[in-house]
Structure 1
Amino acid sequence: MTAGVDLGVPQTQAIRSDDDVVRVRQLVRTVAVAAKLSLVDQTKLVTAASELARNTLIYGGGGTADVAGVEDGRRRGVQIVFIDSGPGIPDLDMALTDGYTTGGGLGLGLSGARRLVDHFDVVTAVGEGTRITVVKWSR
């Protein structure tokens, strides 16, 4: 285990600025190393976390990321839960389609993040916000 990281205890990072997006990436990398994810899987998870943290900031108006190590009896992994109280996602199926964007980007944020992780779950309600849970397992 990496010094200072208790894999079973979620660590919460507020997301209110670009600096916080960087802090999320750093926290995710630290927990991924402690969970013994390969360098490739660390990179995939950090990339997904960066996209989702940025979406939390830009589209959700800010929120939090809870990062924790998880186990399923056979393997270790890292779970990240992004929560915002923003406007929600009106058409989730469309938002998960490659190329769809409401912000002028490439439209690969949600769909790209989904491809980079092993588990991807979105709960959203218009006017209430969004909760996205991702997990990346060790190989």
Structure 2
Amino acid sequence: MWQSCGPETIKIEREADIVTARQVGRNMSRQLGFGTIMQSRIATSISELARNIYLYAGSGTITIAPIVRNGVLGLQLTAIDAGPGIPDIRKAMEDGYSTSGALGAGLPGVRRMMDEFEIHSSPGEGTRVVVVKWNGPIEEGV
């Protein structure tokens, strides 16, 4: 039952924490009744957000929480760090842009895979990304 799913916060300090966050998100999305494709998109989004925390900020948190809005059940991911921040969010949201030599699919990919995407970042203060994936109307027994 979705009511039994509470928010879970995973500290991201080591590379292994990325895997843990991904597993928690996949399990919670399964409990909430998301299909396997959506579970994969959620898990991939968590991986991207957690990897950004690990690579660029060193540490932070990912909070995974069920939400309901207007009778629709969803899953919200909140990634928070106190790292160096993103100097140019518009640039960081461009496909192919990377400061680490990676493919640059991270944040733009997360934005495409999720239904809602919000990012706030201040140089020297850190970054907060909140994304939501909606599943559909709440059903009894789910």
After TM superposition, the score normalised by the length of structure 1 is 0.93
1:137 corresponds to 2:130 = no
Deviations 1:2-38 (A, max 9, x none): 7xx833x321100001110000001101110111111
Equivalent in 34, 39, 47 of residue 37 of structure 1: 34
Q: Tell me how far 1:73 sits from its aligned partner.
A: 2.8
Determine the structure 2 residue equivalent to 1:80.
Answer: 77
Instruction: Give RMSD over aligned pairs.
Output: 1.3
SS at match of 1:59: helix
Structure 1: segments with no counterpart, 5+ residues: none
Q: What amino acid is the match of 1:6?
A: S
Q: Tell me how far 1:46 sits from its aligned partner.
A: 0.7
Deviations 1:36-87 (A, max 9, x none): 1111111111111111110011012110011111111332111010000000
Deviations 1:108-132 (A, max 9, x none): 1111111000011101000000000
State the identity as a percent: 41
Please list every run of at least 4 consecutive aligned residues from structure 1 whose deviation after the TM superposition is greater than 3 angstroms. Answer: none
Q: What amino acid is the match of 1:91?
A: D
Moved more, 67-76 or 80-89: 67-76
User: Take 2:103 and 2:19, find their aligned partners in 1: how far apart are those partners?
Assistant: 21
Structure 2: segments with no counterpart, 5+ residues: 137-142
Q: What amino acid is the match of 2:38?
A: D
Determine the structure 1 residue equivalent to 2:4.
Answer: 6
Determine the structure 2 residue equivalent to 1:127.
Answer: 124
Q: What amino acid is the match of 2:53?
A: T
Determine the structure 2 residue equivalent to 1:27.
Answer: 24
